[in-house]
Amino acid sequence: MKVVIVGGVAGGATAAARIRRLDEKAQIVVFERSHYMSYANCGLPYYIGGVITRPEELTLQTPASFWGRFHIDVNVRHEVTAIHPEKKTVTVCNLDTGDVFEESYDQLLLSTGAKPTQPKFSGVGLEKVFTLRTVEDTLRIRRFVDENHPQSVVLAGGGFISLELAENLRNLGMDVTIVQRSKQLMDPLDEDTAVFLHAKMRENGVNLMLGYTVEGFKENGTGMNVLLEDAQPLEADMVVLAIGVTPDTRLAREAGLELGVRDSIVVNDRMETSIPNIYAVGDAVQVLHAVTGEKTLISLAGPANKQGRIAADNICGGDSRYHGSQGSSVLKVFDMTIAMTGVNEKIVQAAGIDYDKIYLSPANHATYYPGGKVMAMKVLFERTTYKLLGAQIIGYEGVDKRIDVLATAMHAGLTGPELKDLDLAYAPPYSSAKDPVNMVGFIIENIARGRLKQFFWHDLAELPPEGEATRLDVRTVQEYRRGAIEGFRNIPLDELRERLNEIEPGKPVYVNCQSGLRSYVACRILAQHGFDCYNFSGGYRLYEAIVLDRSFAEQSYPCGMDRI
């Protein structure tokens, strides 16, 4: 059997090694158009910032090492320019010599990945306008930074690569501005989680222009003008386009393969395309979302590696299946960690799912052990079945651990209340006896049993007017004086039982505290004294973060844009 693989990196390289482990006699040929057949995409920004010091650390395998270990023929700087399914051949161009030849195959695997999205802006090809997707892109940016010592940069886009670049370039001392069309960074997050990310970026001197659209670029002599829709141009020494990626599927389209979402390659759960003997994996393929069951694109290394393994199994006569992508991901931004799994509210609403949600702010470990820090957690679940739909966490130590537990629980089909039964490791430096994931279970169980009724930050404007309801803040007097939601009067929790006569019976009571915990205790007290009580999910901490973020967004040039 002869297997030709188009593209290396995650999916192609994984598939090649797996095929060899399953079939010692197979002839395996890999064609990769770049200089590097397997490299760490996610590490590229950290080489630019000097965290990773040697470029060879980015390359996981070389053609020589792959041949030495697996006897796989890897050809870098070789671009497959056409597929001929009827002949079971591909046309290949040696980019160094210009030689063109045909290569036959019994089985063909496409791992063509994705390319940086490049709208038809004016000035996209200019010398000081960069993209970041390959090792070559990384070396080009690093060389420019080392040789020209730029003082300012504009990053167009607010996703994973942009945020990682922002941190690394800011740590080099550069003025960094992110321009994002939507009014938040990281679209997989919801607005009420992204506000904590925005605060961290501003705290570290990153300028955020949210809700602005880039229209093009123009050289201004010493640097670049970044042209904006309905706003004054920005000036910077360099620009990086980081507005997302697009499936690289020209080969598939010209070969007649069926295409789906955003021209991605349609595959079945065996990673087979619409043409026999052709498989596809990675960022170029359409997948089913494991939560909604809808067709989507999820460009992450984990799914690409799994798909490569599954395709290899099936090429070698097995029957492995891909059950969809859940979208679990994690991101470091300065000293903060952002993590998510499943779907956000925007996707849930678009899918028409009847859902509910909770917010909580637990510490990453026992509060009496030094160094504990608060994390912001948001969990979505189906209203009637309590099926977990998604989670977002922003914090510091321990965020990655909790998102992985929640991702595993979702994959295993656990419901929200069942999280309370998980037997998770505990020691004061690492967790609490009631782990934050257990707390999620406790809260959802309380909702399921009718012990907890909630209202949210976006409900505040719709609450019954004064006279028809009581709005209560149960924080301490000192906390209340430092800032409170308008219309909420203060009765500290520890005084509540003695001051019940101050709350008018027969009217609903809406209760707020700092995080939602004390207000829940207050609601339990009030409910057992006959009051109809609602707890403010997320508390004043979440409310204050949203208000502060929106006040920044109202400014035309937040966070010192005059420096650029």
Residues catalogued as catalytic? 42
Burial grade of 542 (CB within 10 A; 0-12, 13-18, 19 or more):
buried
Q: Which amino acid is at 222?
A: T
Burial grade of 351 (CB within 10 A; 0-12, 13-18, 19 or more):
middle
226 membership: H or E segment, kind and range? strand 224-228
Length of the chain: 564
Q: Are 94 and 102 in contact (CB under 8 A)?
A: no
Q: How far apart (Å, rounded) are the C-alpha atoms in residues 380 and 357?
A: 4
The pair of structure tokens assigned to 487 is 């219309």
Q: How far apart (Å, rounded) are the C-alpha atoms in residues 203 and 145?
A: 24
Name the one residue in this structure whose structure tokens are 């095929």. 19
- Give the residue among 360, 362, 418, 359 at the shortest CA–CA distance from 385: 418
360 membership: H or E segment, kind and range? strand 355-360
Q: Are 290 and 325 in contact (CB under 8 A)?
A: yes
The pair of structure tokens assigned to 495 is 């005084």
Q: Are 179 and 151 in contact (CB under 8 A)?
A: no
Q: How far is CA 369 from CA 363, 373, 400, 427, 430, in A?
A: 11, 10, 20, 10, 9
Q: Are 394 and 371 in contact (CB under 8 A)?
A: no
Classified as helix, coil or strand, 142 is: helix
Bridge partners for 219 per DSSP:
224
> Considering just the CA atoms, what is the radius of gyration of the chain in Å?
27
Q: How far apart (Å, rounded) are the C-alpha atoms in residues 185 and 176?
A: 14
Q: Are 142 and 48 in contact (CB under 8 A)?
A: yes
**Sheet with strand 238-241: strands edge to edge:** 129-131, 238-241, 152-156, 175-180, 207-210
The pair of structure tokens assigned to 250 is 């020209």
Q: Are 333 and 194 in contact (CB under 8 A)?
A: no
Q: How far apart (Å, rounded) are the C-alpha atoms in residues 535 and 519?
A: 6
Q: Are 531 and 503 in contact (CB under 8 A)?
A: yes
